[in-house]
Amino acid sequence: MSSQTLCNLSVIDGVTDSLVLRPLVTTDKDEIMRIAGAIGTATFAVSMPEYCGVIGVKPATRARREQEAAQEPVFDMAILDRALAACRKIPLERFTEEALQRTDVEVLSVPLAQATIIDIRHPDESDGAPLHTHIPALHIPFYELHGRACELAPASTYMLYCGRGAMSRLHAGHLKEARGLDVRVYAP
């Protein structure tokens, strides 16, 4: 959002020869959120990280052209070329397979008695085919799971369910690694 201030937009326009299209530039945040709700993207937008937070805790909201002009000559413009030359292109299917091979997560076809099942499917998918088990189940869509991981008790056992198993394995591996949770995959 810091890049969307009028000062910053002006600096961005001043340093590029490319046309920058901004279809929402005259729309305020409340209206953008209303539109996002109407088209079904609000839940995804809320769970997305603010990328300006990657840069620092106090991003510039009032950039000045002279600041940019002072930094541009010392910036290594070949950095993008080097990054592209060093990148590895992986078809999405192979990326998923490689990620799953790195994931050390137990996959079970029968739920553990002491476990809580977490259905991570999108609400549209889970509403049409509810998960019926005798084990307690929560519904936390995959796009909310990591933001709500603090709600999960560290001493409990969880089993993720997604229907096919791949999404569950990826998320379970991340929750084990990042949060130290006892997480398995339920794949009946």
Model confidence over 151-165: pLDDT tens digits? 999 999 999 998 777
Q: Which two tokens stand for residue 170?
A: 């990826």
162 is catalytic: yes
- Rounded to whole angstroms, the Cα distance separating 17 from 13 reads 8
What is the pLDDT at residue 52?
46
Which one, of 64, 55, 46, lies nearest residue 5 by Cα?
Answer: 64
Compute the residue count for the chain: 188
In the chain the domains, ranked by start, together with CATH numbers, are 2-86 (3.40.50.620), 93-186 (3.40.250.10)
Which one, of 133, 117, 130, 127, lies nearest residue 168 by Cα?
Answer: 117
Question: Whole-model pTM above 0.85?
Answer: no
Model confidence over 115-149: pLDDT tens digits? 999 999 888 777 777 777 666 788 998 888 888 98
Q: Which of the two residues, 5 and 50, has the higher pLDDT score?
A: 5
User: Percentage of residues in the chain with pLDDT exceeding 90?
Assistant: 13
Given strand 157-161, what is the order of strands in its sheet?
A: 107-108, 182-186, 157-161, 115-119, 137-139
Q: Which two tokens stand for residue 93?
A: 């299917």
Say which of 7, 87, 150, 162 is annotated catalytic: 162
Q: Which of the two residues, 45 and 138, has the higher pLDDT score?
A: 138
